């Protein structure tokens, strides 16, 4: 028989791969797959040394090897039905990725032939000959251009010399709007794709050398096999070094860009009839109907009546506070908004030529509004004030109720969005079941039903179930919240810290290897940023954000806050409350565990922008590991076989 010398050599080489310290368990799924491949190599060597094979025909030995690799292939197909290229669409314009992808597809194509051969021989009992297997092995190892060793060598050059992962990070950052992944998540998916292909390639080389060593009685291929192993170790080590370097710089933030077209209550919503510009005469701002002061005197007032049914009778009354009143000019033309609109005015044109708002068409026609003199001494001026309205149509409530994933069934948050219901702003979560090694059961992913309530419901309490925005309590803290490693996001809520809304997240420890939340009912806790000494995000002359021709970009920082306020007078007559709220769902695709969350502002100069939520994806970098022996730098000389 031709086997004995080879099997001793094979066993020694395989053992050399595993002489290391105790292997970590909390490694990524693709790194675990590599471990299984190396263990298969070791087990085959040990198995084939068994004396029992002496009693078997040589074809049965070949069949044993084919079945072993088929079982491994079945495991690969189960864990990785695809190689993950479908999650790398944002790299489609990257020339370096296009070249790499071509090489990956070349390996994958040969692997499909390899798998088909296994199925035909094992499952379909198709006729086969040793010569057919040898021809396949020679094609895998010996083709001058298309051999697996040469292909993997070219991929390694793209990764190490051409810096594929750095280029991918840069491209992902510029193309973040095209794919719902954080830049770091995309790098992890790219690493997985490359590593799976390397594993498939090395699987075929393992099989081929084992086959050829058995077939060629006078050749042991010891030198070639050692070189293949060294190169695989070197490529894997260099790939890990490259991806970890890139991942260290790549943000884990996941946020939504502006849509191509803003759609009210579909991609954004606004706090209607909250803070708004308001025209009012001094005579209506005091109980005595006097005109003895000036507009600036009324920095904090209210509407007492409607003197002689003048212009006040033609507009919606401000039922709340009047703030920061100012004299602009005595007389004006007002273009009133439609009665069904949340606005009061389309524009205001003063006699001194100042115009507030967009002077376009005026469907209802303008109304002339003039101040007047009383007894030649007192000027009853029309003032421009801000109305903190309190009416049944005012959107001014934020839910303070916690929104939590079903941790009792091992579910974690996989998505988040803002939603308005019954004039209350809620955070709504998407949840999915956590699986081993940082994966999510995609069939379990679903949006958790909203906790619907009205401020008029029985047992619903102000400042407990909801917060009411008023001029004195209209601020929102802007934070990114991130817990320690090995914790996942399982809940969110707003709370009040002084006069400001503040985000809190609930986090739960978990076991990465098993994918199980650790005692979640007792060990989950709320995490927040309690800093109160913050700087205000300045929104200069903020127009309605949906009018901006430029896409909004994140412009807030940690430890800032913003005040909800009226829009700019010049551009919008202060008829909107800004910022608007981005209600697009933030959900990574494919679903992944989430480590943290944040609330931030995005906008442009001259725009009121949007308040939006973000997610911070889990950091997979610590779980990338190859259980490989030290290897020399990548050897540029590809393997060539000389089968006799």
The CA distances from residue 229 to 106, 207, 315, 336, in Å, are 21, 13, 82, 79
The pair of three-digit structure tokens given for residue 559, joined into one six-digit string: 């430890």
Mean pLDDT value of segment 466-490: 97
User: Of 79-88, 469-478, 518-527, 601-610, where does mean pLDDT reach its minimum?
Assistant: 79-88
Nearest to 235 by CA among 638, 643, 633: 633
Mean pLDDT value of segment 91-101: 94
If you average pLDDT over every residue of the chain, what do you get? 90
Secondary structure tally for the chain: helices H, strands E:
11, 31
The per-residue pLDDT for range 361-417, each reduced to its tens digit, is 798 899 999 999 987 778 999 999 999 998 889 999 999 999 999 999 999 999 999
User: pLDDT class for 144, splitting at 50, 70, 90?
Assistant: low
Q: Is the pLDDT of residue 229 over 80?
A: yes
User: Of 3-17, 461-475, 506-520, 588-602, where does mean pLDDT reach its minimum?
Assistant: 3-17
- C-alpha to C-alpha distance for 361 and 233, rounded to whole angstroms: 72
Q: Is the pLDDT of residue 2 over 80?
A: no
Q: In the prediction, which pLDDT does 564 show?
A: 98
Q: In the prediction, which pLDDT does 145 show?
A: 67
Q: Is the pLDDT of residue 348 over 80?
A: yes
Q: Is the pLDDT of residue 153 over 60?
A: yes
Q: How many CA atoms lie within 13 A of 253 on its CB side?
A: 18
Q: Other C-beta atoms within 10 Å of 431: how many?
A: 24
User: pLDDT class for 498, splitting at 50, 70, 90?
Assistant: very high
Crossing angle, helix 29-48 and helix 183-215, to 10 degrees? 10
Q: Is the pLDDT of residue 346 over 70?
A: yes
Determine the Cα angle at 619 with ends 614 and 621, to 5°.
Answer: 150
| Largest Cα–Cα separation, the chain | 125
User: Of 169-178, 187-196, 403-412, 458-467, where does mean pLDDT reach its minimum?
Assistant: 169-178
- C-alpha to C-alpha distance for 220 and 302, rounded to whole angstroms: 96
Q: Is the pLDDT of residue 523 over 70?
A: yes
Q: In the prediction, which pLDDT does 162 show?
A: 95
User: pLDDT class for 60, splitting at 50, 70, 90?
Assistant: confident
Nearest to 138 by CA among 221, 78, 196: 221
Q: Is the pLDDT of residue 344 over 90?
A: yes
The pair of three-digit structure tokens given for residue 238, joined into one six-digit string: 């260099």
Q: In the prediction, which pLDDT does 641 show?
A: 38
Q: In the prediction, which pLDDT does 611 show?
A: 99
The CA distances from residue 25 to 31, 184, 433, 435, 621, in Å, are 10, 22, 21, 15, 14
The pair of three-digit structure tokens given for residue 601, joined into one six-digit string: 């502002």
User: pLDDT class for 174, splitting at 50, 70, 90?
Assistant: confident
The per-residue pLDDT for range 112-135, each reduced to its tens digit, is 999 999 999 999 999 988 888 999
Look up tokens 């191509």; give the residue.
260
Q: Is the pLDDT of residue 224 over 70?
A: yes
The per-residue pLDDT for range 376-391, each reduced to its tens digit, is 778 999 999 999 998 8
User: Of 82-86, 293-297, 310-314, 500-504, where does mean pLDDT reach its minimum?
Assistant: 82-86
Mean pLDDT value of segment 206-212: 87
Q: Where are the domains of the chain?
A: 29-251, 275-388, 395-621
Q: In the prediction, which pLDDT does 218 show?
A: 55
Q: In the prediction, which pLDDT does 628 show?
A: 65
Look up tokens 């421009």; give the residue.
384
Residue environment code for 62-84, b if the CB has 16+ CB neighbours within 10 A, otherwise e? beebbebbbebbeebeeebeebb
Q: Is the pLDDT of residue 633 over 70?
A: no
Q: Other C-beta atoms within 10 Å of 217: how many?
A: 13
User: pLDDT class for 220, splitting at 50, 70, 90?
Assistant: low
- C-alpha to C-alpha distance for 92 and 89, rounded to whole angstroms: 5
Q: In the prediction, which pLDDT does 544 show?
A: 97
Q: In the prediction, which pLDDT does 53 show?
A: 67
Q: Is the pLDDT of residue 55 over 90?
A: no
Q: In the prediction, which pLDDT does 219 show?
A: 66
State if pTM tops 0.85: yes
Q: Other C-beta atoms within 10 Å of 625: how many?
A: 17
- C-alpha to C-alpha distance for 250 and 191, rounded to whole angstroms: 14
**Is residue 643 packed enough to be buried (19+ CB in 10 Å), middle (13-18) or exposed (0-12)?**
middle
């Amino acid at each position: 028989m031709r086997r004995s010398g080879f099997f001793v050599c094979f066993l020694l080489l395989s053992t050399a791969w595993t002489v290391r310290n105790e292997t970590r368990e909390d490694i990524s799924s693709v790194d675990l797959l590599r471990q299984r491949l190396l263990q298969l190599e070791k087990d085959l060597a040990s198995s084939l040394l068994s004396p029992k094979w002496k009693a078997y025909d040589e074809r049965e030995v070949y069949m044993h090897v084919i079945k072993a690799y088929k079982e491994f292939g079945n495991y690969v197909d189960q864990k990785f039905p695809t190689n993950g290229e479908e999650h790398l669409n944002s790299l489609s314009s990257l020339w370096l990725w296009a070249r790499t992808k071509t090489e990956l597809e070349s390996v994958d194509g040969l692997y499909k032939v390899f798998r088909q051969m296994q199925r035909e021989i094992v499952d379909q009992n198709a006729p086969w000959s040793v010569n057919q297997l040898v021809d396949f092995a020679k094609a895998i190892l010996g083709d001058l251009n298309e051999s697996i060793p040469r292909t993997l060598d070219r991929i390694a050059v793209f990764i190490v010399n051409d810096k594929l992962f750095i280029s991918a990070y840069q491209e992902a950052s510029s193309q973040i709007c095209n794919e719902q992944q954080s830049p770091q998540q995309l790098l992890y998916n790219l690493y997985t794709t490359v590593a799976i292909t390397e594993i498939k390639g090395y699987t075929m080389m393992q099989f081929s050398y084992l086959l050829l060593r058995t077939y060629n009685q006078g050749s042991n291929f010891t030198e070639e096999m050692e070189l293949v192993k060294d190169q695989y170790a070197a490529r894997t080590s260099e790939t890990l070094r490259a991806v970890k370097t890139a991942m260290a710089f790549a943000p884990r933030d996941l946020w939504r860009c502006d849509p191509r077209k803003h759609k009210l209550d579909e991609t954004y919503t606004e706090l209607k009839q909250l803070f708004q510009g308001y025209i009012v005469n001094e005579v209506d701002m005091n109980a005595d109907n006097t005109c003895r002061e000036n507009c600036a005197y009324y920095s904090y007032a209210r509407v007492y009546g409607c003197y002689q049914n003048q212009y006040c009778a033609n507009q919606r009354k401000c039922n709340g506070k009047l703030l920061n009143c100012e004299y602009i000019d005595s007389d004006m033309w007002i273009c009133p908004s439609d009665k069904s609109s949340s606005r009061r005015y389309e524009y205001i044109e003063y006699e001194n030529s100042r115009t507030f708002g967009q002077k376009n068409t005026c469907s209802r026609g303008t109304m002339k509004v003039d101040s007047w003199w009383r007894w030649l001494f007192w000027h009853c001026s029309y003032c421009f004030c801000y109305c903190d309205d309190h009416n049944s149509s005012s959107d001014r409530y934020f839910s303070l109720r916690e929104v939590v994933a079903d941790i009792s069934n091992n579910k974690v948050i996989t998505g988040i969005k803002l939603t308005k219901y019954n004039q209350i702003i809620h955070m709504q979560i998407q949840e999915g079941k956590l699986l081993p090694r940082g994966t999510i059961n995609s069939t379990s992913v679903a949006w958790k039903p909203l906790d619907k309530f009205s401020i008029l419901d029985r047992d619903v309490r102000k400042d407990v179930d909801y917060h009411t925005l008023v001029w004195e309590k209209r601020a929102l803290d802007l934070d990114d919240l991130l817990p320690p490693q090995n914790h996942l996001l399982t809940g969110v809520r707003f709370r009040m810290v002084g006069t400001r809304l503040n985000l809190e997240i609930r986090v739960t420890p978990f076991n990465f290897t098993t994918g199980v939340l650790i005692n979640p009912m007792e060990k989950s806790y709320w995490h927040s940023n309690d800093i109160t000494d913050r700087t205000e995000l300045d929104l200069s002359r903020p127009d309605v954000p949906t009018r901006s021709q430029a896409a909004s970009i994140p412009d807030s920082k940690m430890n800032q806050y913003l005040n909800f306020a009226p829009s700019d007078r010049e551009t919008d007559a202060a008829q909107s409350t800004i910022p608007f709220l981005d209600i697009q769902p933030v959900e990574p695709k494919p679903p992944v565990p989430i480590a943290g969350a944040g609330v931030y502002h995005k906008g442009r100069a001259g725009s009121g922008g949007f308040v939006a939520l973000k997610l911070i994806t889990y950091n997979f970098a610590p779980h990338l590991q190859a259980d490989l022996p030290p290897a020399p730098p990548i050897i540029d000389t590809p393997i060539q076989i000389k089968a006799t």
